[in-house]
Amino acid sequence: MPSATLLGQALISGVLAGGMYGLLALGLSLSWGLLRLVNLSHFALAFLAAYLTYELGTTYHVAPWWSVLIIVPSMFAIGLAQHWVFVRFKVNELGSLLITFSFAVILEVGIQLYWTADYRRFETHYATWSIKAGPFYIPVLELILCLVAGVLAWGTWLWLRKTYVGKALRASAEDADIAAAYGVDHRKLAYLLSGIGAAYAGVAGTFIALIATLAPAQIWAWLGVVFAVVIIGRLGNPLGALAAGMLIGASESIAMAVFSPAWAPVVSFSVLIAILLWDPEWS
């Protein structure tokens, strides 16, 4: 039987790892829930941001907290351009899946051409910093990631609930024609939301560069678990995405501590199936 310290440490690791799932799920959940566009290229954009963070950090010695100031607006602009393509070619939900998959593949090839297929690691002296709390260790970078994910999820939730723009976006997602009858310009708002989703991918990418391994094929490593998180957290619900991310992360980590690490990938989909069958009020 694992000790309480092991279980506690696994729980901390899992919740913090879940912060990354939540952060990656945030932009995807918004575009899928509110624009009805399934943006598979979200993962590729996050990795492009990760590689840019790596490049700026290793070649030009730009600290990641400065590089994010360049990367996030750039990603926002890419999000706008991507949405222009969706509008121009009248892309529907299924079509978006195919087009964004193609876009992700093109980005993967582009990344491979420039940075090669070799593994890249952005080594920093603070990558292994931890805070000691009793018998537990809290990794600093992952904690910051979780806090950033929390602020973004909470801020986005408030924006969608409390502001006119947020309410208009939700109304358009419910019924675009009725919202338009009330003077909501759905098209402009959709551009804004696309940009924000891509910008969130930029933020996630910066953290990916700091805590994970970079290889072009890794783009697809997060896909399954993040999709499960988006569905469990409910489409278009930023707080739900974060909570679901942490739930999955913690479940995976406890499974690794109690049973075998090889069980971790099974956990996210088992939780997804269980919640879909149970269909609780909050999901």
Partner 1 sequence: MRERMGSWRRRHVLAGLLGSTAMLSAPAILRAAPSGKPVRVGGTLSLTGFLAQTAVIHKIASEIMVEEINSRDGFLGRPVEYVLLDDQSKPDVARSLYEKLITVDKVDLIQGPYATAPILAAMGVAQRYGKVIVQSSMGIPKLQTYDMAFPATPFGPEPDKSYPNVILDAMASLPAPPKNMVILTSKFPSAQFMAQGMKVEAEKRGVKVPLYLEYEAGNRDFGAIAARVKEANADFLWVGSLGLESNQILEALKKLEYTPKGSFHLYPAPGPLALSPDGNLAWSSTFLEPDEPFMSRPGVAKIAAAYKERATKANLPYPLIDAQAAGMVSEWQILEQGVNGAKSLDDKQIAAFLKKNVVNTIYGPLKFDGLYNHGAPAQLIRQVQNKEWKVVWPREFAAPGVKLLP
What is the x/- site pattern for partner 1, positions 231-250, by CB under 8 A?
Answer: ------------------x-
Q: Decide: 82 and 102 in contact? Cβ < 8 Å.
A: no
Q: Which region among 92-100, 155-163, 221-229, 272-280 touches partner 1 (by CB under 8 A)?
A: 221-229
Query: Shortest distance, CB of residue 96 to partner 1, whole angstroms?
Result: 24
Q: Beta-strand (E) ranges in the chain?
A: 130-133, 136-139
What residues numbered 31-90 form the site for partner 1, per CB under 8 A? none
Query: Shortest distance, CB of residue 151 to partner 1, whole angstroms?
Result: 22
Query: CA–CA separation, 231 vs 217, rounded Å?
Result: 24
* 124 makes contact with partner 1 (CB under 8 A): no
Q: Decide: 215 and 117 in contact? Cβ < 8 Å.
A: yes
Query: What DSSP character marks residue 118?
Result: S
CA angle 203, 73, 152 (to 5 degrees): 40
Structure tokens at 248: 């999955």
Question: Of residues 87, 98, 127, 178, which one binds partner 1 by CB under 8 A?
Answer: 127
* 269 makes contact with partner 1 (CB under 8 A): no
CB-wise, 173 or 229, nearer to partner 1? Answer: 229
* 262 makes contact with partner 1 (CB under 8 A): yes
Q: Decide: 199 and 75 in contact? Cβ < 8 Å.
A: yes
Question: Of residues 87, 174, 261, 276, which one binds partner 1 by CB under 8 A?
Answer: 261
